Amino acid sequence: MESPSKLPMDVLGYIADTLGAEIDTRLIPSGIPNGHAVQALKMLCLTCKFMVAVCRRHLFAKISLSSFSSLKRVETLSEFLLSHPIIPTRYVKILYLDTSRFFSPSDYDLLQKLCGSSSLTSINISTTIRSPAYWNTMPEQKKSAFLSLFQIPTLRHLALVKIVNFPAAAFSLCCGLTNLVLHEMSNLAPPAPDNRMHRPKITTLVAWHSIGEVHNTIAALMNPTGHKKAEKIHSIIAFAHLQDASVNIETDTEGFQTCKLLEEAVRLEKLHIQAYASMKLLPGIFSSLAANPHPKLRYLKLDFGFSDGDCDNAFFNGLHR
Same domain, 227 and 243: yes
At 6 the pLDDT is 65
Enclosing domain of residue 102 = 62-319
Number of domains in the chain: 2
Q: Are 237 and 205 in contact (CB under 8 A)?
A: yes
How far is residue 105's CA from residue 197's CA, in Å, rounded to a whole number?
A: 36
Q: Are 181 and 153 in contact (CB under 8 A)?
A: no
How far is residue 247's CA from residue 207's CA, in Å, rounded to a whole number?
A: 11
Same domain, 28 and 155: no
Q: pTM (2 decimals)?
A: 0.82
Nearest CA among 256, 261, 259 for reference residue 318: 259
Is residue 2 situated within a structural domain? no
Same domain, 135 and 186: yes
Q: Domain of 186: which CATH number?
A: 3.80.10
Same domain, 32 and 155: no
Residues in the chain: 321
How far is residue 292's CA from residue 210's CA, in Å, rounded to a whole number?
A: 22
Q: Give bridge partners of residue 163 from the DSSP assignment.
A: 133
Same domain, 44 and 144: no
Is residue 247 situated within a structural domain? yes
Same domain, 200 and 307: yes
Give tens-digit pLDDT for 13-31: 787 788 777 766 544 444 4
Q: Give bridge partners of residue 245 from the DSSP assignment.
A: 208, 271
CA 234 to chain centroid, in Å, comes to 22
Same domain, 35 and 67: no
At 274 the pLDDT is 84
Give the percent of the chain with pLDDT over 70. Answer: 77
Same domain, 92 and 185: yes
Give tens-digit pLDDT for 266-299: 999 999 988 776 566 667 877 888 887 778 899 9
Is residue 271 situated within a structural domain? yes
Q: Are strands 299-304 and 270-275 parallel, antiparallel or unpaired?
A: parallel
